Amino acid sequence: MMLENISQNKVAEGWHKQYRHSSRVLNCDMRFAIYLPPNATQHTPVPVLYWLSGLTCTDENFMQKAAAFKSAAALGIAIVAPDTSPRGELVADDDSFDLGQGAGFYLNATQPPWNTHYQMFDYVTQELPSIIEAHFLVTDVKSIAGHSMGGHGALIAGLTLPEQYRSISAFSPICHPMQSPWGQKAFSAYLGQDTTQWRKYDACEWLKSRKATLPILIDQGDADSFLAEQLKPETVLAAAKLSGSEVQLRMHSGYDHSYYFISSFIDEHLAFHARYLQST
């Protein structure tokens, strides 16, 4: 696997770097960003937090806006941010912002034309971690987090593959995509009309029948314009109660859906993950 380093910046005594590579899983070139804390550049392998971003985002949004580097450097945690979908001239797309390129929804599409490239679940949980662990000074210890569509992706990845992660966190996640217009549109296109195929990508459906084994932290602003129609955080608590799962949901007065909200609480999320990433 060849990685092309397309940018790098020293920050908080560590390094933020962007890479391009050819993805076997997605059948196209992909880009990701990685932050390597100072100890990872001094011959000490570090654990990794994978961050999944939301609709319309790329690898750049979190890295440029979340203000996470100082805490990541102090805690000795690498951060990896993939793109939110496959991209390119040959990759299927849609004119709307909530379907197609920039809106991969972190699932494995089964319906044409999407299934040729849109295998984001396998990319973020299998191919990308194998690349990161082969090319950088990191361990195989990892946690996962995300925002909005990426919060949905983090919940699904962690709930589905608890043996791969230590902890899960999310900002403003799409908690119940089967009951969200964004989720319904994406699932219909990518997975078809059989809603039984949707359930494995819905955190609430998972939690209704299975007990979560990983610690889960969710932060949500009560001034989020998408709160009632798209995000529905109350549904994840109701589902968790059915299976006896523990989910920590924190509501924050006055905060919206933006990176102003994320940057206000990202240090607490990094500290949350550090407790599990650094435990034996």
Query: pLDDT digits over 64-97, tens only?
Result: 999 999 999 999 999 999 999 999 999 999 999 9
Residues in Cβ contact with 103 at an 8 Å cutoff, skipping those fewer than 6 apart: 55, 56, 84, 85, 94, 97, 149, 186
pLDDT tens, residue by residue, 203-212: 999 999 999 9
pLDDT tens, residue by residue, 156-180: 999 999 999 999 999 999 999 999 9
Residues in Cβ contact with 155 at an 8 Å cutoff, skipping those fewer than 6 apart: 168, 170, 173, 175, 203, 216, 236
- Count the domains in the chain: 1
CA gap 93, 72 in Å, rounded? 35
Q: Which whole number is the average pLDDT over 128-155?
A: 98
Total Cβ atoms within 10 A of residue 68: 24
As separate numbers, helices (DSSP H) first and strands (DSSP E) second, the chain gives 9, 9
Looking up residue 174, the CATH number of its domain turns out to be 3.40.50.1820
Q: What's the angle, vertex CA 27, arms to CA 25 and CA 33, rounded to 5? A: 70
CA atoms within 13 A on the CB side of 204: 18
Order of strands across the sheet that contains 138-147: 4-11, 14-23, 28-36, 78-82, 46-52, 138-147, 168-171, 216-221, 248-252
Least Cα distance to 38 among 63, 13, 16 occurs for 13
Residue numbers annotated as active site: 148, 224, 257
Average confidence score pLDDT of the chain: 97
At residue 246, the 3 state secondary structure works out as coil
CA atoms within 13 A on the CB side of 248: 10
What is the percentage of the chain residues whose pLDDT exceeds 70? 99
How much is the pLDDT for 60?
A: 98
How much is the pLDDT for 279?
A: 79
How much is the pLDDT for 40?
A: 85
Place of tokens 């983090």: 154
Residue 41, pLDDT above cutoff 80 = no
Measured distance between the N- and C-terminal CA atoms of the chain, rounded to whole angstroms? 31
At residue 100, the 3 state secondary structure works out as strand
Contact status, residue 17 vs residue 24, Cβ threshold 8 Å: no
Phi-psi region of 253 (alpha: psi -120 to 50; beta: other; left: phi over 0): beta
Residue 280, pLDDT above cutoff 70 = no
Domain that residue 76 falls in: 3-278
Signed CA dihedral, 104, 81, 252, 159: sign only: positive
